[in-house]
């Protein structure tokens, strides 16, 4: 097939160019959030807008459309990575070409004005300042969903951007047992009377010492500093500039050891995924994780299943005590472990423990779905929010600042994004248990700090594939099972039942 070869080579060159433009933006974005002086903001905005316009122009070029059509009609092996590259490029091409230019511009303008309104509303703790902007944003998101196309539910078209192939109906079925059983577990923990002491985490931990310790742990987990770096920012993130340069950021809070430490473990999880992608996929549409949910499964796996396990700290705790002798020398391992797993229903998602986290996500998923589908009026959002917090978590936000104004997502048009946090939790346990079945006594390995076999298994079954498979297909290939809430719920009952002395 000489023609196909030629078309594929041209496609690869175009895809590499698009990749490079995207990575230039990523590097500028990383810099903006770490080292850029405040005076750079305006100019940086222009440069990033220019790069993004160039990217859009090349992505939607008629030639790209011709190449995709030609390759789709060619004899490319349906199971090959080459065919998967075409599939991924098609997704991006369709999304970009189906949206009229007017809508793209309106969405950009609205994101900017709604975000500003959200900031003002937070400053004044007054939801009414944000409400009209949210209403207008939802209208644009409905238009976007209709332009992209869907089988009857607009939410599916928005969700597809973050979690390809997953639908609102699937999420509703998957999440239903989480709502009841995580709320029950949370209530049982509250009623147990057990209140772990966490004061040792709130002593004075100088930032430089936290950084030294966190960097050492990141390296021990397998994060490659030859192909990455760890810097400080306000909202921690991981960003790939290419397979050889995957950076992470964190923040250190002087009187909160857990904050910086677990955020590093979380971002390391994201970065290990990107660092583990097959080098043969470099500069192709497969050179990134398969979905936000799968990405989150990797961050949560290292943060929680490893990083909050007793086995891991049996090995690592003496080192932590040696790094912070004045704060931790007199604190036994079991007390430290109970403290980093303390369960406390809170108002704020980003501070949530494992037992309540998905409940925070469910509130947002249910409300954004109702808002988008017209079952909830934006004016009634604060009331609906507070009602669900009372019902699911047993707490009532005293203000909208601690209620429906706490997340930035909706103000910048991220609708369909929240569920990926919960999907990540579910998948993290399915993957961890599959690794355990393959590797034998994983706890014994964690106890002696032997983390390479676990990383090796994840590399082999998840990381190296990049976006070659759709997320649910990848999960099934790796675990032999479909996406399922049961393993996660059983894990929570086991772990927190033991910590809080609950009847099995
Ligand atoms: Zn994450």
Residue 60 and residue 58: Cα distance in Å, rounded?
A: 5
- Left if phi > 0, otherwise alpha if psi is -120 to 50, otherwise beta: which for 289? beta
Using one digit for the tens of pLDDT, what is the confidence trace for 444-473? 999 999 999 999 999 999 999 999 999 999
Cα dist. 335→277, 315, 329, 377, 497 in Å?
38, 15, 12, 46, 16
Catalytic residue among 133, 267, 303, 368: 267
**267 is known as an active-site residue:** yes
Token pair in block for residue 176: 């239903």
Pairing of strands 246-250, 230-232: parallel
CATH for the stretch 168-499: 1.10.1370.30
Residue 278 and residue 464: Cα distance in Å, rounded?
A: 5
Query: Mean pLDDT throughout 434-450?
Result: 96
Q: How far is the CA of 246 from the centre of ligand 1 (A)?
A: 14
Asked whether residue 42 carries a pLDDT value surpassing 90, the answer given is no
Q: Which residue has the higher pLDDT, 197 or 4?
A: 197
Where along the chain do its domains lie? 2-149, 168-499
Q: How far is the CA of 156 from the centre of ligand 1 (A)?
A: 22
Which CB contacts under 8 angstroms, 24+ apart, belong to 394-398?
Answer: 394/186, 394/187, 394/190, 394/345, 395/345, 395/346, 395/347, 397/347
Q: What is the pLDDT of residue 70?
A: 97
Q: Residue 304 gets which letter from DSSP?
A: I
Using one digit for the tens of pLDDT, what is the confidence trace for 205-260? 999 999 999 999 999 999 999 999 999 998 999 999 999 999 999 999 999 999 99
pTM metric for this prediction: 0.96
Residue 316 and residue 311: Cα distance in Å, rounded?
A: 9
Query: Mean pLDDT throughout 81-97?
Result: 96
Q: What is the pLDDT of residue 2?
A: 60
Q: What residues contact 417, with CB distance under 8 A and at least 6 apart?
A: 162, 292, 409
Q: How far is the CA of 474 from the centre of ligand 1 (A)?
A: 19
Q: Which of 60, 76, 58 is nearest to 7 (CA)?
A: 76
Asked whether residue 1 carries a pLDDT value surpassing 70, the answer given is no
Mean pLDDT of the chain: 96
Q: How far is the CA of 299 from the centre of ligand 1 (A)?
A: 6
Q: What residues contact 5, with CB distance under 8 A and at least 6 apart?
A: none
% of the chain with per-residue pLDDT over 90: 95
Query: Mean pLDDT throughout 383-390?
Result: 97
């Amino acid at each position: 097939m000489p023609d196909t070869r030629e078309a594929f080579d041209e496609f690869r060159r175009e895809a590499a160019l698009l990749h490079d433009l995207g990575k230039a933006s990523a590097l500028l974005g990383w810099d903006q959030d770490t080292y850029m002086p405040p005076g750079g903001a305006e100019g940086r905005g222009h440069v990033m807008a220019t790069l993004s316009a160039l990217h859009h122009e090349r992505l939607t070029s008629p030639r790209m459309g011709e190449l995709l059509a030609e390759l789709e009609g060619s004899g490319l092996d349906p199971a090959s990575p080459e065919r998967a590259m075409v599939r991924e490029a098609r997704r991006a091409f369709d999304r970009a070409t189906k949206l009229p230019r007017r809508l793209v511009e309106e969405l950009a303008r609205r994101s900017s004005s709604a975000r500003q309104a959200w900031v003002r509303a937070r400053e004044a703790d007054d939801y009414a300042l944000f409400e009209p902007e949210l209403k207008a944003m939802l209208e644009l998101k409905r238009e976007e969903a209709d332009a992209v196309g869907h089988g009857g539910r607009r939410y599916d078209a928005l969700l597809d951007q973050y979690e390809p192939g997953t639908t609102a109906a699937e999420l509703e079925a998957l999440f239903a047992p989480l709502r009841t059983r995580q709320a029950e577990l949370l209530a049982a923990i509250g009623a147990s009377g057990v209140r772990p002491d966490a004061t040792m985490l709130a002593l004075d931990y100088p930032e430089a010492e936290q950084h030294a310790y966190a960097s050492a742990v990141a390296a021990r987990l397998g994060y490659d500093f030859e192909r990455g770096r760890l810097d400080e920012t306000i909202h921690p993130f991981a960003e790939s500039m290419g397979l050889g340069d995957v950076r992470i950021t964190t923040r250190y809070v002087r009187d909160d050891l857990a904050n910086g430490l677990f955020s590093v473990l979380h971002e390391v999880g994201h970065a290990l995924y990107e660092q583990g992608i097959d080098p043969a996929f470099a500069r192709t549409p497969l050179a990134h994780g398969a979905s936000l949910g799968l990405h989150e499964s990797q961050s949560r796996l290292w943060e929680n299943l490893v990083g909050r396990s007793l086995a891991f700290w049996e090995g690592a705790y003496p080192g932590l005590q040696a790094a912070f002798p004045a704060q931790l020398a007199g604190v036994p391992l079991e007390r430290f472990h109970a403290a980093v797993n303390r369960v406390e229903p809170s108002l704020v998602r980003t501070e949530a423990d494992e037992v309540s986290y998905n409940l925070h996500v469910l509130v947002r998923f249910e409300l954004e779905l109702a808002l988008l589908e017209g079952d909830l009026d934006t004016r009634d959002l604060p009331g609906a929010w507070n009602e669900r917090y009372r019902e699911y978590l047993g707490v009532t936000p005293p203000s909208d600042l601690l209620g429906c104004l706490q997340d930035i997502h909706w103000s910048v048009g991220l609708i369909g994004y929240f569920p990926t946090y919960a999907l990540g939790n579910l998948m993290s346990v399915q993957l961890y248990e599959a690794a355990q079945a393959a590797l034998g006594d994983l706890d014994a390995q964690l106890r002696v700090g032997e983390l390479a076999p676990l990383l090796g298994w994840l590399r082999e079954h998840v990381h190296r594939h990049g976006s070659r498979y759709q997320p649910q297909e990848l999960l099934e290939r790796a675990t032999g099972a479909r996406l399922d809430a049961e393993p996660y719920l059983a894990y929570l009952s086991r772990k927190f039942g033991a910590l809080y002395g609950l009847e099995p």
